[in-house]
Amino acid sequence: MRYAWLIVLAVVATTGCNQAELKRALSEAKMAEAQKDSLLTEVLETTQFVSDINSELAKAKTLAIRTAGTDPGLPGAKKDREDRQASLDRIKQVIARLDSSEAKLAETEARAKQSRQRNARLLAQIETFKKTVDDLKTTAEQQKTEYEAALAEKDTQIATLAGRVDTLSTEKAGLETVNTALTDTVANLTSYKNTVYYAVGTKDELIKRGVVTKEGSKFLVFGGTRLEPARNLDPAAFTALNKTEQTSIRLPRTDKKYKIVSRQSPTYLGSTVTKDGKVTGTVQITQPEDFWAPSKYLILVQD
């Protein structure tokens, strides 16, 4: 205001205290002071803005440091990329604000230079802030370039990890297929190993079905014949069972005896076995592995 009053006094001295001139001088002095206050307010806002920008850049840098470290795999790489992208977005916002501030300072400087009361100190302060904003913008642009390069590298890393995941998934699927095939093979082999066959019937029935055949010859009272298992046994002529699950065979007639003509030994039976090795009622197998070891085909002929 001191400068304003000096202007007023000068006007009064040159006009002989003309009332109209005095009012005009006072009005111009007030406008100049208001303009100065406005410029100072803008400079103070710029000061706060610079402080905010420094804070934003510090946050972005802290986020980058926090997300750096050993990559825990594809999910971790994707999370790291998201964090870095968030930092890059903050930096882009900072640069946009710096551009806006730069334009605003240029307008403020132009207004200060056009002011009737040219304030050298204010202009110097504006110039300092312009330099500060320019330095901040250079730093932000550098960080932007670094983050864009880091994101490109992270994209490559994610693509590589995704490829590895696909490869591992394919290999896993292949191993699962092999494992399934092996499991099926083992199951089939186990089923094959445990499947045995039995045939029960009269001599004529079994001969007709091709299960047994007569061996030997007889002439008058010399020689003789005996029943033996056929050389080529057809599983279709037998009844199949699982030797580990079914250890008893009910014979068709309980009033008849049955002779084992195949190679199994009656020793491993728990059912009633006569002295000549014949069985009645039910064939009860007490030791399946030993009983079926000589042959998987059991043939019982009814007397």
Structure confidence by residue, pLDDT tens digits, 52-106: 666 666 665 565 555 544 555 667 667 777 777 777 777 777 778 777 777 777 7
Does residue 9 fall inside a structural domain? yes
Provide CB contacts within 8 A for 163, sequence distance 6+.
Answer: none
152 and 228: one domain? no
Q: How confident is the model at residue 198 (pLDDT cuts 50, 70, 90)?
A: very high
Highest mean pLDDT among 51-65, 210-224, 240-254, 262-276: 240-254
Segment 222-232 shows an average pLDDT of 77
112 and 214: one domain? no
The rounded distance, in Å, linking the Cα atoms of 80 and 63 is 10
Segment 179-195 shows an average pLDDT of 82
Q: How many residues does the chain have?
A: 303
pLDDT in the model for residue 241: 95
198 and 167: one domain? no
Burial of 65 (0-12, 13-18, 19+ CB in 10 A): exposed
Does residue 189 fall inside a structural domain? no
Range of the domain at 285: 194-302
Q: Which of 148, 176, 204 is where one domain is finished?
A: 176
pLDDT at 212 over 80: yes
66 and 172: one domain? yes
Q: Which of 176, 207, 229 is where one domain is finished?
A: 176
Find out whether 111 and 39 touch, Cβ atoms under 8 Å: yes
The rounded distance, in Å, linking the Cα atoms of 104 and 97 is 10
Domain tally, the chain: 2
261 and 145: one domain? no
16 and 128: one domain? yes
Instruction: Specify the range with the lowest mean pLDDT, choosing from 77-86, 203-212, 219-228.
Output: 219-228
